[in-house]
Structures are given as structure tokens and as C-alpha cells.
Amino acid sequence: MRILLVEDDELLGDGLQAGLRHCGFQADWLRDGESARTALQTEDYAAVVLDLGLPRLDGLGLLRVLRGGGNNIPVLVLTARDATSDKVIGLDSGADDYLVKPIDLDEVAARLRALIRRAGGQVTPMVTVGRLELDPAGRRVYLDGDRVDLPAKEYAILELLMRNAGKVISRGQLESALYGWDEGVESNAVEVYIHHLRRKLTPNCIRTLRGVGYLFEKSS
Ligand code: CA
């Protein structure tokens, strides 16, 4: 899952980006609200981790712009402010959840998973489609109850497709879920991963719609 991290503190931002990646999120890191606003207009993210005290456009300002424009992306606010009034203002401005610094990385990751799950309308933490079951917390995949080991990028592709089972996902969306801005996209990478997934899971679980994208079959 691709996440946007907005934090102007170099040390904290660096630690959070590395920590989120370690927890299986592809995290892009920006240091001010205005750049984040632009990125959110052009890039696909599953959620935002947002500091409140930011240069150019602050976190509350960004939240108001997002919600005012009808963008309902899940937002987890991180802040040093621990006054109750600040939490209330943050939540009233459109934050979905709130963590006060110093923060625990495992808690950030768990709350992000919960926010993304709720945004996808899923009540249970496991994602089940046909014979396949996905455990996002442990990044594990089961076929008919048996564990299937997948490399991180194959897992990322499968998670996005399974969370959107029955819907067409474009190659661009899959590439965007795989790579941050600082990594190049190898041509045909998505096709190769899909080929591996079909071989390891079931041959017909992912349908190719030529020139349009890929679809995870609901009945696979
Ligand atoms: Ca700050």
C-alpha cells in the first residue's frame, strides 16, 4: 500500500519513512503541506500520515482543503500537540485518527491498516476472495488454507487486486502501488509479477483486460 507521509522534521520523517517501509508500506515523504496538496491531486495513495505543524500550508489547512474538495482519503494525524482542544480541532477538520508524539511505529502501522480497511468497507482484518485469503497485518497469503510465500512486490500487487476484487485496476495503479518516486519502474515488471502470481495461486485468479488493466476474479 502506498502512503504519503507529510512531516517537516528531518529526523522523525526519515525514521518514519524507513519504519513504514519496514512494515510493508511504500511511503513517499514530503516536508510541507503545499507539496502534499499537489501530490494528492496527481498520485494514488491509500492513506496520509500528516504532521500538523508544517511550513507553507499547515496540516489543518491541508485537511480542510482535502475535505472541502470532497477527498475522503484516510488521514492519520501525528502531532506533538497533546491538548484536548487540538485533538478535537484535528478530528473536526477531517482527520480519521490521531496519534500524539512520541509515536510507536507498530501502532502507526496498525492504525493505518485499520483506516485503510475501514475505507475499503471491510469489517474483518482478513481479506477473503474465493479460495484465497489475505492477512494484511502479517502480510501472509493462504490458498485453500495453505500458506503461500510471496515476495514483497508480488504481495503488494495481490493485495491491491484482492482489495478491489471485481474491479479493473490499471497497470499504472499497480505500478504506483509498487514504487515510490525514488525508485524506477522496470518495464513489464507488473506483467512478470502477475505471471508469477497466476503460477503460484490459481491460473485464472487474475484476468488481463488488454489495454485496460487487470481484474481479480471474485469467484477465483
Ligand atoms: Ca512539524
Q: Give me the pLDDT at residue 134, please.
A: 92
Q: Give me the pLDDT at residue 193, please.
A: 93
**Positions of the chain with pLDDT under 70:** 81-83, 122-124, 180-185, 220
Classify each residue of 68-104 as buried b or exposed e, where b means 16 or more C-beta atoms within 10 Å of its C-beta.
eeeeebbbbbbbebeeeebbeebeebbbbbbeeeebe
Q: Distance between CA atoms of 140 and 137, rounded to whole angstroms?
A: 8
Give distance in angstroms: CA of 79 to centre of ligand 1.
7
Which tens digit of pLDDT belongs to each residue from 140-176?
Answer: 999 998 999 999 889 999 999 999 999 999 998 888 8
Using a CB cutoff of 5 Å, list residues around ligand 1, an ion. 8, 51, 53
Residue 32 contacts residue 5 (beta carbons within 8 Å) = no
Give distance in angstroms: CA of 184 to centre of ligand 1.
29
Give distance in angstroms: CA of 6 to centre of ligand 1.
9
Q: Distance between CA atoms of 40 and 59, rounded to whole angstroms?
A: 13
Q: Give me the pLDDT at residue 208, please.
A: 94
Residue 53 contacts residue 86 (beta carbons within 8 Å) = no
Amino acid at 72: N
Q: Distance between CA atoms of 27 and 111, rounded to whole angstroms?
A: 15
Q: Give me the pLDDT at residue 141, please.
A: 94
